[in-house]
A and B are shown apart, each in its own frame.
Chain A
Amino acid sequence: MNIIIGLINGMITSATPILLAALGGSLTYYAGIFNIAMEGMMLGGAFFGMLGSYYFHSWPMGILFAILGAILMALIFILFAVVLKMDEFITGIGLNLFSVGATTYMLRQIFKVKGAFSSPEIVPIPKIDIPWIKDIPVVGEIISGQNLIVYLTLLATIVVSYLVFKTRFGLRLRAAGYNRTSLDTSGVSANRIRVWSLILCGVLCGLAGSFLSLGYVTLFSEGMSAGRGWISLAAVILVSGNPTGIALISLLFGFTDGLGLFMQRSLPSQFTSMVPYVATLIALFVYSVRLKKKQTI
C-alpha cells in the first residue's frame, strides 16, 4: 500500500510542472503560435522564484517573482516574434538559450557560485493539509498534504479549460489560431490576443518554475528545467491542445517518472532517468500510428 501511495504522490509531483507549462502551451497553441519557449520561461521562473524567496524570506514573493521572471521571458518572445515578426521557431530556440545563459550568468554574478545555489534562507512553498480529509486513510495521504502549487495546478486546468471553451476571450483565442484574418476583419486584433496568450503562458510557466526551485527542493541549478518544457510541448501536440487531455498525458508522464524512480532498485539510475523521455517517444509513436489509421479510413 505504501508503495502505491508513494507512486501516486511521485506521479503528481513530476506531473505538476509539466502540466502547468503544457497548459501555457495549450493557450498559445490555440492562438496559433508555434511556441517552443516553455523551457526557457520555466527556467527563468525557477531562477527568479528562488531569488524572490531568498531576498524577501517569503514564498509568496517567490511565486510572484517567478511569475514576473517568466513574463519577462514571454515579453522578449513577444518583442521578437510578434512585434518584429521573427520566425517563431528561431525566437523560441534563441530565447531558451538566452534563458540558460542569463540564469547562469546571474547565478554567478549575484551568488558567486557555479552549478547550483542552495541556502536555508530560501523559503519553500508550503504543503497544505486539508482538515477532515487528511485523517481519511490512504485517500487522505494523496488528496491532502500536497504542495500548494499542486492545488493551483488543478485549479489552473479547470480555469484554462473554461477560458478556452466557454468565454469570449477563448473564442477569440481559437479564432486567432484558426483564421487570424477573419478575426482581424471582425475588429479584434489577432496580435493582441496572441500577446495575451503568451503572457498567460508566462504566468503558468512561472508557476511551474517556482515549483521546481521552491517546491520539494529549495535550490536553483543550471538548466534545472531539464527538458520538461520539451515534454510539455510534446504533450500539447499529442492532444492538439485540449487542456483535459493535457492533464491526462502529464499524469501519464509523471507516472512513468515515478516508475523510473521505483525501478532504480534493479537498474542503474541512468537508465531509469531516461524513462520519461522514452515514454514521450512511445506516446508520439502511438499518436502517429493512430493518425495514420484515421487517414487510411
Chain B
Amino acid sequence: MKRKILVNVVGVLLAFLLGAVVMLVQGYNPLETYYRLFEYSLAPGKIAYTLSKSVPLVLTGMSASVAFASGPINLGQPGQLLMGALLATIGGLYIDLPPLLMIPFLLILAMLGGALWSGVAALLKYWFNMSEFITTLMLNMIADFFTYWAINYPFFEANANHPQTPFIAKSGWMPEWGNFNSSVIVMVLAFGVIWFIVNRSTAGYEWRLSGQNSLFSRLGGVNISKNYLVVMLLTGALAGLAGGLVVMAGPHRFIKDIGGNYAWDGVMIAMVANSGIILTLVFGFFFSVLQTGSLGMELITAVPKELIQVLQAVIVLIVVAGRGYFETFFAKLEARRKMRERIA
C-alpha cells in the first residue's frame, strides 16, 4: 500500500520536474509558476470551486475505471457525456417540476442519455461481435455532430449569435452556495454507490474477475455477456450523468463544445489510477486542481494554461510506466534477497 502511494507521488513529482525543465528552457520561473498554480486552486476560498470543477472529471474517470477494470474497452465517454447533456437539456426545456423532483428527473434523463449511447455499442458487440473499442470511438464523432445539429436546428435559441439552446427551467439548476456547487453531492453519492457495487457486491466481484481473466470467470459460472451489457450501460450512465451535471451546474444550457476535454481527461485519470475507484477520485481532484490553477498561473506568470494539458499526459505516461518499472524493480530486490537467504 505504502509502495503504491510512493510510486504515484514519485511519478507526479518526476512529471513536474520535466514541466519545470520545459519552463526553464522558455525563460519562466518554475517555482513561482507552480506556487501560483496551487495557490489559485487550493486557497481556502477557492477549494470549493476546484471541488465543483472536479465533478465531470471524477464521473467520467469512474466510468472509464469501471469499464477497464471489468473488461470492456469503453472509450465512448465523450459521446456518452454529450448525449447525457443533450437529453438533460431537452428535459429541462420542456418540463418544469418543483426542484426536488426536477433535479433527480433531469439526472435520470442524463444517465439514460449516456446509457443509450453506450447501449448502442454494447448491442453491436452483443449481436454482431463488433469490438466496442472502435465502435465507441466512432460513436463519439457521431454524437459530436449529432448534438451540434440538435443545437443548430431543433433546439436552437433564436437571436443567439452562436449555436446554443435556451436556458433550461430554473428548477433544474443545481443549487449553489458560494463557490460550492451541489453537483459535488451527486458526485459523492455516485462514488459511494460505485465503490459499494465494485468492492462489496457479487456483481462487482464478477466484473473484476472477468476483467482479470474472462475465461476463468466464465468457467466459474459467470454470465459474461450479461455482465458486459450491464457494465457498458452503467459506465455510459456515469458519463451521461457527468454531462447532465455540466449543463445543470454550469451554463444551464447546451452550448457548443460543452463537453470540453472532460471525458478524455477522465480516460487519462482512469489509466493513471490503474482503474481503482478511490485513486480515480484522488486523481480526478488532482487534475481539477491543475486545471483550475492553470487559469491563475496564466494570469500571473503568463505561462499559457495549455501547458497543463501536456503536463497531464506526461503524468499519465510517467506514473504508469513507473508503476510497471518499480514493480519489476521490487520483484528483483525480493528475488535477490531470497537468493541470499538460500545461500546462507
B-binding residues in A (CB < 8 A): 76, 80, 84-87, 89-91, 93-95, 97-98, 100-102, 104-105, 108-109, 226-227, 230, 233-234, 237, 268, 270-271, 273-274, 277-278, 280-281, 284-285, 288-289, 291-292
Query: Are A288 and B130 touching (Cβ within 8 A)?
Result: yes
Query: Are B135 and A281 touching (Cβ within 8 A)?
Result: yes
Asked if B95 lies at the interface with its beta carbon under 8 angstroms from chain A, I say no
Highest count of chain A CB atoms <10 Å: which of B145, B152, B314: B145
Query: Are A105 and B134 touching (Cβ within 8 A)?
Result: no
Q: What are the residues of chain B within 8 A of A76 when measuring CB–CB?
A: 317
User: Could you list 5 A-B pairs, sorted by A, with CB under 8 Å?
Assistant: A84-B321, A91-B317, A270-B148, A280-B138, A285-B124
Quick one: given A80-B321, A94-B320, A109-B304, are A278 and B131 in contact (CB under 8 Å)?
no
Asked if B128 lies at the interface with its beta carbon under 8 angstroms from chain A, I say yes
Q: Is the interface of B mostly helix, strand, loop or mixed?
A: helix
Query: Are A90 and B320 touching (Cβ within 8 A)?
Result: yes
- Set A87, A230, A273, A288: member contacting B128, Cβ < 8 A: A288
Bound-state Cα–Cα, A150 to B180, Å: 55
Asked if B330 lies at the interface with its beta carbon under 8 angstroms from chain A, I say no
What is the size category of the interface that chain B forms with chain A? Answer: 35 or more
**B55 to chain A: closest CB distance in Å?**
20
Asked if B333 lies at the interface with its beta carbon under 8 angstroms from chain A, I say no
Chain A residue, CB-CB nearest to B267: A93
Quick one: given A84-B321, A105-B304, A270-B148, are A230 and B138 in contact (CB under 8 Å)?
yes
**B343 to chain A: closest CB distance in Å?**
30
Query: Are A234 and B134 touching (Cβ within 8 A)?
Result: yes
Given contacts A86-B321, A98-B310, 7 further A-B contacts (CB under 8 A): A86-B320, A87-B324, A90-B320, A277-B138, A284-B131, A285-B128, A288-B129
Q: What are the residues of chain B within 8 A of A230 when measuring CB–CB?
A: 134, 137-138
Chain B residue, CB-CB nearest to A279: B138
Asked if B26 lies at the interface with its beta carbon under 8 angstroms from chain A, I say yes
Asked if B86 lies at the interface with its beta carbon under 8 angstroms from chain A, I say no
Query: Are A93 and B271 touching (Cβ within 8 A)?
Result: yes
Q: What are the residues of chain B within 8 A of A89 when measuring CB–CB?
A: 73
Q: Is the interface of A mostly helix, strand, loop or mixed?
A: helix
Quick one: given A227-B141, A281-B138, are A94 and B271 in contact (CB under 8 Å)?
yes
Q: What are the residues of chain B within 8 A of A90 when measuring CB–CB?
A: 271, 316, 320
**A35 to chain B: closest CB distance in Å?**
13
Q: What are the residues of chain A within 8 A of B271 when measuring CB–CB?
A: 90, 93-94
Query: Are A271 and B138 touching (Cβ within 8 A)?
Result: no
Quick one: given A84-B321, A288-B129, A289-B128, are A97 and B142 in contact (CB under 8 Å)?
no
Query: Are A271 and B149 touching (Cβ within 8 A)?
Result: yes
Chain A residue, CB-CB nearest to B316: A94
Bound-state Cα–Cα, A76 to B271, Å: 18
Q: What are the residues of chain B within 8 A of A273 when measuring CB–CB?
A: 145
Bound-state Cα–Cα, A233 to B312, Å: 25
Quick one: given A97-B312, A268-B149, are A284 and B304 in contact (CB under 8 Å)?
no
Bound-state Cα–Cα, A278 to B139, Å: 8
Bound-state Cα–Cα, A84 to B325, Å: 7
- Set B75, B135, B309: member contacting A100, Cβ < 8 A: B309
Q: What are the residues of chain A within 8 A of B268 when measuring CB–CB?
A: 93-94, 97
Query: Are B135 and A284 touching (Cβ within 8 A)?
Result: yes
Query: Are B306 and A101 touching (Cβ within 8 A)?
Result: yes
**A182 to chain B: closest CB distance in Å?**
24
Chain B residue, CB-CB nearest to A109: B304
Query: Are A109 and B137 touching (Cβ within 8 A)?
Result: no
